[in-house]
Structure 1
């Protein structure tokens, strides 16, 4: 499987009006700020959306975005397995904002939503510290919790997947509203 084409932020901005933009982050992350015109189809729903995304490629190129580029690259690979060609945004919405480009927010959306990567770092750090503390105070076997998290982080880096992010994405604060996939897919069909 080849690596999907990656567009730089300025390159994507120049052709924004020609692209169908799919944001594969959680609804909470999407609400915190997304590329203009982006449609939210969370990564865990991408397979269900393949026929409609395929239809969108008839009208132009598809750009898949996430916070840093890892989830969008995974989404592009899933799409490629199903015969759909899509590009990813280099550095994701983080790079987009860092380059001074505007992020849109739904009306009434929170402005300070933590990105998934930051949530994973916090959760992993807390669990590692808890494992070490319990290992010192209660029983040394609790240090295995820290070992397990370290192993999970190594596995995450090697496979470019993150089980912890998948679990955190299901928490209520990451889904302030349900991903309205049916309406999103209808909007995708009508583009």
Structure 2
């Protein structure tokens, strides 16, 4: 069973009639930016959604891609009408609707992984060209790690970055 997508205008009307908006992004993404009043139910720990009297549940992620890719899982946890917000949080913001932003929170872990991995690959290539070819092994190691992360779903660099001091604020913000 797939979930229908709805645009921001229809989502807004449903919310005004008592629908529930559910954010399926991970805690680090939500800590930095979210729609006020949404419920948090990350895909990594997806649980049944209690509509608490609402007639509909609207799921959203950042762009709509994750919710669309997990439509069957989301439909299974909703005990009422359920929809996917087309365009996700980005469409919500583009429509000029309210978003809570906490710029003191670090950027999402996956963006940190992209920055770190890209920097290590670039550094390995530069050092390999101008210092010693052995430094190319650094780029190969990072590339192998990315392939491993993509095929297994486990990313050592993300695990390491998650425990860095600048990311500890996310856990405190989510617990509050």
Q: Does the 8 Å contact 1:116/1:169 carry over to 2?
A: no
For residues 38 and 12 of structure 2, the distance between their equivalents in structure 1, rounded to whole angstroms, comes to: 12
Q: Which residue, 118, 129, 139 being the options, matches 1:125?
A: 118
User: What's 2:162 paired with?
Assistant: 171
Q: Distance in 2 between matches of 1:128 and 1:147?
A: 8
CA distance in structure 2 between the aligned counterparts of 1:170 and 1:90, rounded to whole angstroms? 31
- 1:12 deviates by 1.5
Higher RCO structure, 1 or 2 (CA under 8 Å, sep 6+):
1
Q: Which moved more, 1:29-38 or 1:137-146?
A: 137-146
Partners of 1:63 and 1:114 in 2: CA distance: 25
Q: CA RMSD in A?
A: 3.9
TM-score by length of 2: 0.67
Are the structure 2 counterparts of residues 95 and 115 from structure 1 closer, same or farther at C-alpha, using a change threshold of 3 Å? farther
Task: Assess, with a 3 A threshold, how the Cα gap between structure 1 residues 73 and 111 changes in structure 2: closer, same or farther.
Answer: farther
For normalisation by structure 1, the TM-score amounts to: 0.63
TM-fit CA distance, 1:10: 2.3
Q: Which has the larger radius of gyration?
A: 2
Q: Which residue of 2 aligns with 1:34?
A: 34
Relative distance call for 1:96 and 1:28 in structure 2 (3 A) is same
Offset at 1:142? 3.3
- Counting only pairs closer than 5 Å after superposition, residues 1-191 of structure 1 correspond to structure 2 as 3-17=2-16, 18-46=18-46, 49-50=47-48, 53=49, 55-56=50-51, 59-81=54-76, 86-104=82-100, 109-110=102-103, 113-115=106-108, 118-133=111-126, 135-136=128-129, 137=132, 139=134, 140-145=136-141, 147-148=143-144, 151=147, 167=158, 171-172=162-163, 173=167, 175-177=170-172, 179-180=174-175
Aligned pairs, number: 167
Deviation at 1:43, TM superposition (A): 2.2
Structure 1 residue 38 displacement after superposition = 0.3
Distance 1:76 1:111, change over 3 A: farther
- Deviation of 1:129 after TM superposition, in Å, equals 1.7
Aligned equivalents of 2:21 and 2:171: distance in 1?
21
